[in-house]
Amino acid sequence: MDNRDTLIEVRNLKKFFSIGDNTLKAVNDISFEIKRGETLGVVGESGCGKSTAGRTLLRLYDATGGDVLFEGKSIMNLNNQEMKAMRRNMQMIFQDPYASLNPRMTVGDIIGEALDIHGLATGQKRKERIQELLSLVSLNPEHMNRFPHEFSGGQRQRIGIARALAVEPKFIVCDEPISALDVSVQAQVVNLLEQLQEKMGLTYMFIAHDLSMVKYISDRVAVMYLGKMVELAESDALYEKPLHPYTQALLSAIPIPDPEVERNRERIVLQGDVPSPMNPPSGCHFRTRCPKAMPECAASVPVWKEVEPGHFAACHLYN
């Protein structure tokens, strides 16, 4: 992993929203890299800022602060024309495939639209490319004249994937792409994403709300809580030795298939609800629910630190 070069570098990224007199700090100063060809999983409860982070990173939202570099080049100050060219490299797959597909357009036109915007193919070539993309995601190329409602949920997500792939991107933000699907279909979509990654050398940021979902697809996993990144590590290290009390609690909630292990292990039940992101606790945002909170946790914000090689955490236990 360390030998791979960096495709995306995120530096101190912030995205704040003004709501009345209040400021919602949806993404509050996060920094990380994504290596070429890897999958970075990003996990957290709803409202933690993971989807906003994905969208801000692609400039679907304007950042409040910080920088995003793609292949070493900042995308933050690109003009519309330059950003349009950059969008070919960076695509998104959405959580709700039905809401993200125009119900009045045929599947061929939904996928073809991406080709048109970037002037990639016309006429017969366009048709052939659409059929090729449908085959790539294991849909019947003959169905290009059908409408989204004629497909199942899993098939619609495949259409969303084909649309993202039409412009031959290098990087895809997958925003909870399987959360809305039946459990039986989830594994198929994950397998498809993995096959495509191998075939096309894709790099993914895979956003999910629970750790069990990202375990198998991610090379590294980041955990977010109330707009902050609290831990980031190689998947194995994160699952075997989570450092942050929040990650420990999330992992303790995942059932283990072995009944003996399941019976004897400690389960950490978090007290209280997630505080409002409008008014997060002082110091460490997790302190109101943390079983290991100490006086200093209220006084100062824990520093994001490389505690072990490649294993980062923001917690006073390690500061």
304 near ligand SF4 (CB under 6 A): no
Q: Where are the alpha helices (DSSP H) in 137-244?
A: 153-165, 183-200, 211-215, 235-240
**CB-count burial class (<10 Å; 0-12, 13-18, 19+) for 46:** exposed
317 binds ligand SF4 (CB under 6 A): yes
In the complex with ligand SF4, the residue whose CB is nearer, 28 or 56, is 28
Min dist CB 294 to ligand SF4, Å, is: 6
Q: How far is 50 from 138, CA to CA, in rounded Å?
A: 29
Does position 287 interact with ligand SF4 (CB under 6 A)? The reply is yes
Query: Closest distance between ligand SF4 and the C-beta of residue 213, in Å?
Result: 23
Binding to ligand SF4 by residue 301, rule CB under 6 A? no
Instruction: Please choose, from the candidates 15, 39, 43, the residue with its C-alpha nearest in 3D space to the C-alpha of residue 27.
Output: 15
Q: Which residue in 286, 304, 311, 312 binds ligand SF4 (CB under 6 A)?
A: 286
Pairing of strands 220-225, 228-234: antiparallel
Q: Which residues, in sequence order, are CB contacts of 210 under 8 Å at separation 6+?
A: 43, 250, 254
Q: Does 30 bind ligand SF4 (CB under 6 A)?
A: no
Q: Using CA atoms, how far apart are residues 162 and 74, in angstroms rounded to an integer?
A: 27
Residues in contact with ligand SF4, counted by CB under 6 A, come to a total of 14
Q: Does 315 bind ligand SF4 (CB under 6 A)?
A: yes
Long-range Cβ pairs for the range 283-288 (8 Å, 24+)? 284/314, 284/315, 284/316, 285/225, 285/226, 285/227, 285/228, 286/225, 286/226, 286/230, 286/244, 286/245, 286/246
Instruction: Rule CB under 6 A: say whether 302 interacts with ligand SF4.
Output: yes
Binding of ligand SF4 by 290 (CB under 6 A)? yes
Whole-number minimum distance, CB 310 to ligand SF4, in Å? Answer: 20
The residue within the footprint of ligand SF4, chosen from 98, 127, 292, 307 (CB under 6 A), is 292
Q: Which is nearer to ligand SF4, 44 or 302 (CB)?
A: 302
Within positions 256 to 285, which residues make up the interface with ligand SF4, using CB under 6 A? 284
- 312 touches ligand SF4 (CB under 6 A): no
Shortest reach from residue 289's CB to ligand SF4, in Å = 8
In the complex, minimum distance from the CB of residue 203 to ligand SF4, in angstroms, rounded to a whole number: 30
Question: What does the angle CA 101 – CA 56 – CA 216 come to, to the nearest 5 degrees?
Answer: 70
Question: Which candidate, 156, 84, 83, places its Cα nearest to that of 117?
Answer: 84
Altogether, the residues listed in the chain come to a count of 319
DSSP, res 79: -
Residue 11 vs 292, nearer CB to ligand SF4? 292
Q: Is residue 248 involved in binding ligand SF4 (CB under 6 A)?
A: no
Q: Which of 224, 297, 304, 311 binds ligand SF4 (CB under 6 A)?
A: 297
Using CA atoms, how far apart are residues 319 and 302, in angstroms rounded to an integer? Answer: 7
Residues that bind ligand SF4 (CB under 6 A): 244-245, 284, 286-287, 290, 292-294, 297, 302, 315-317
